[in-house]
């Protein structure tokens, strides 16, 4: 009987018993595959745990302090001068003068040469030329796109790739409504005995002036570089940097070629205290960026006869759905915060036990749909969570034109900062899926990231003019002599070996976005630190300030880093 059932001729339907058997065979095979995958995952985890101790020690090696070996009498005198009250007082005056130049950049600036608000940058350049005469006489000085400042100190060894130091001249505007809230006027450059107050004091004139002070002193001390030094100062970083850094980067890539620089240091992150330790965390990556404009088109009409849902209602439903479907925290292997966690596990006595347990089993595989390590780390709060989570924020909304007319066009702008390891295409796919769900409910057409014109009864999705993928991640190997090892060694030489180095991440974007082709070794780093100054000096808000101690240490760090890079045994 069984043979007759299993030898049915082709084309005839299978007997019920045969269908049932095939069903069970498929189910057993699926269960076996799941069990095998689980076995492989458990085996990998066991291997990880077996080598845990050795793994932990090797995750975050700390380099020894690196002090320049060249010690001429003039350089020794310079180092002593940097630690003197005389230099402190002179540096305060220079910083105060720089803050007094209101070099504000505005989102609605017109073309250079037409919009007179750009002209304040002439005053900024004139101040720098007057304040740093040796820099402007000894270095090749160029203006790029009128206000971009490019200085080149030619080295004697042309086989060495140049060191590039960056800063920006412009500052965030001060809103008229907030002027009265400042403890000291925003462009007075007031010094209170400990801090210099004013817009731009922290972002980014401490680096701008600090770099120039270091180079001015090195020239005066008779230092002759073997490795070319390039100073590249943009003037519109606060409004995307296209006119400044965008043009400066093109000049440098044309001049030195792709990957033609040894290292770039620009503004960025600094000190972070965690788990009973103090870390310097130079930014070795930046999250991506994409704005998405969503437009709902629905019929208008008189408000006295409204439909059940008009365009604003439909848009509200879509926004609610977007916010109800946030991105999952996920620590991809290339994310610097994963490296920071490993440094914490290796060196910090108060590192959380749960994170310590999850670290050795963490990997990007199909074994775990949920990233348990990322979910646990995210419990530290949003400031931490968004270092490894794509963010979304509906920031601008408009719709309707009159109180008795139904809205025909409703618009929202949703901002995203894309997680390291993910892509802008992930954002587009997710929003398209959500828009199609709403569109199906209301019988609307979806135009998702195409050149199609808006049509009645539709939802259109368009990417904003600036879309950035996450930045390439800077290597942080310290095997041999590397840019990261030089940066780390310089920092530990200045601050001592109690301070730890770990890779950091910039959730926002700096002028370095234009320099990816110039080198793989880009560090977003504020090297000045005063333990008494909390946070980032109120950047972008009322009462921005910088500690004088932090500023002096900024100058000391740049002076040491330039010399250490000059002596580094790498191309």
Residue ranges at the known binding site for Zn(2+)? 168, 203, 238, 266, 540
Q: How far apart are CA 137 and CA 141, in angstroms?
A: 8
The first and second tokens of residue 409, run together, are 């066009």
Q: How far apart are CA 513 and CA 522, in angstroms?
A: 10
With CA atoms as reference, report the closest residue to 553 among 523, 533, 570, 535.
533
CB-neighbour burial class of residue 101 (10 A; exposed 0-12, middle 13-18, buried 19+):
buried
The first and second tokens of residue 370, run together, are 């949920």
Q: How far apart are CA 280 and CA 501, in angstroms?
A: 5
Are 504 and 281 in contact, with CB atoms under 8 Å apart?
yes
Report residue 24: phi and psi, to 5°.
-70, -35
Catalytic site residues? 170, 237
Question: Checking DSSP bridges between strand 163-168 and strand 263-269, what pairing results, if any?
Answer: parallel
CB count in 10 Å sphere of residue 474: 23
Three-state DSSP state, 507: coil
Q: How far apart are CA 522 and CA 552, in angstroms?
A: 23
Helices (H) and strands (E) in the chain, counts: 17, 18
With CA atoms as reference, report the closest residue to 481 among 566, 556, 557, 554.
566
Residue 476: alpha-carbon gap to chain centroid: 16
Binding residues are 168, 203, 238, 266, 540
Diameter of the chain by CA atoms? 106
Q: How far apart are CA 363 and CA 559, in angstroms?
A: 40
With CA atoms as reference, report the closest residue to 515 among 155, 164, 150.
164
> Measured between alpha carbons, how far apart are the two ends of the chain, in Å?
81
Q: How far apart are CA 78 and CA 289, in angstroms?
A: 43
With CA atoms as reference, report the closest residue to 524 among 503, 541, 549, 550.
503
Three-state secondary structure of 201-253: CCCCHHHHHHHHHHHHHHHHCCCCCCCCEEEEEECCHHHCCCCCHHHHHHHHH
Q: How far apart are CA 458 and CA 440, in angstroms?
A: 10
């Amino acid at each position: 009987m069984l043979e007759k059932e299993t030898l049915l001729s082709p084309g005839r339907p299978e007997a019920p018993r045969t269908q049932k058997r095939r069903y069970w065979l498929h189910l057993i095979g699926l269960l076996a595959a799941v069990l095998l995958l689980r076995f492989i995952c458990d085996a990998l985890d066991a291997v990880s745990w077996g080598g845990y101790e050795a793994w932990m020690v090797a995750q975050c090696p700390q380099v020894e302090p690196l002090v320049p070996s060249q010690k001429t009498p003039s350089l020794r005198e310079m180092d002593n001068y940097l630690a003197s009250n005389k230099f402190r007082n002179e540096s305060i005056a220079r910083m105060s003068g720089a803050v007094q130049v209101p070099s504000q950049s505005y989102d609605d600036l017109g073309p250079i040469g037409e919009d007179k608000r750009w002209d304040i940058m002439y005053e900024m350049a004139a101040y720098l030329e007057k304040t740093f005469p040796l820099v402007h006489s000894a270095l090749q000085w160029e203006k790029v796109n009128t206000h971009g400042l490019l200085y080149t100190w030619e080295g004697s060894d042309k086989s060495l790739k140049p060191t590039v130091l960056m800063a920006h001249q412009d500052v965030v505007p001060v809103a008229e409504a907030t002027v009265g809230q400042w403890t000291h006027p925003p462009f007075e450059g007031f010094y209170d005995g400990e801090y210099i107050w004013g817009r731009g004091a922290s972002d980014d004139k401490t680096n701008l002036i600090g770099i120039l002070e270091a180079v001015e002193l090195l020239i005066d001390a008779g230092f002759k570089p073997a490795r070319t030094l390039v100073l590249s100062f943009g003037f519109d970083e606060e409004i995307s940097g296209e006119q400044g850094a965008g043009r400066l980067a093109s000049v440098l890539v044309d001049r030195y070629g792709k990957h033609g620089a040894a290292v770039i240091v620009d503004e960025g992150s600094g000190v972070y205290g965690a788990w009973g330790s103090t870390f310097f965390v130079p930014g070795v990556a930046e999250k991506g960026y994409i704005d998405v404009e969503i437009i709902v088109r629905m019929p208008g009409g008189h408000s006295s006869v409204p439909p059940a849902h008009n365009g604003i209602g439909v848009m509200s439903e879509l926004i609610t759905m977007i916010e109800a479907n946030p991105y999952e925290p996920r620590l991809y292997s290339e994310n610097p915060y994963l490296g920071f966690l490993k440094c914490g596990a290796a060196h910090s006595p108060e590192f959380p036990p749960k994170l310590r347990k999850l670290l050795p089993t963490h990997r990007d595989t199909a074994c775990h749909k949920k990233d348990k390590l990322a979910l646990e780390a995210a419990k530290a709060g949003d400031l931490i969570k968004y270092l490894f989570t794509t963010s979304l924020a509906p920031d601008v909304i408009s719709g309707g034109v009159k109180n008795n007319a139904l809205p025909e066009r409703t618009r929202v702008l949703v901002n995203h900062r894309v997680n390291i390891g993910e892509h802008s295409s992930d954002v587009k796919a997710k929003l398209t899926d959500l828009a199609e769900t709403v569109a199906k409910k209301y019988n609307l057409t979806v135009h998702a990231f195409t050149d199609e014109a808006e049509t009645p009864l539709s939802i259109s999705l368009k990417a904003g003019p600036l879309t950035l993928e996450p930045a390439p991640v800077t290597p942080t190997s310290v095997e041999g002599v590397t840019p990261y090892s030089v940066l780390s060694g310089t920092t530990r030489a200045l601050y001592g070996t109690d301070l730890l180095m770990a890779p950091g991440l910039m959730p926002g974007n700096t002028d370095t976005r234009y320099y990816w082709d110039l080198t793989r070794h880009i560090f977003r780093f504020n090297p000045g630190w005063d333990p008494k100054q909390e946070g980032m000096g109120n950047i972008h808000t009322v009462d921005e300030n910088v500690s004088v101690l932090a500023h002096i240490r900024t100058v000391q760090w740049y002076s040491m880093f330039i010399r250490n890079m000059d002596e580094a045994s790498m191309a």
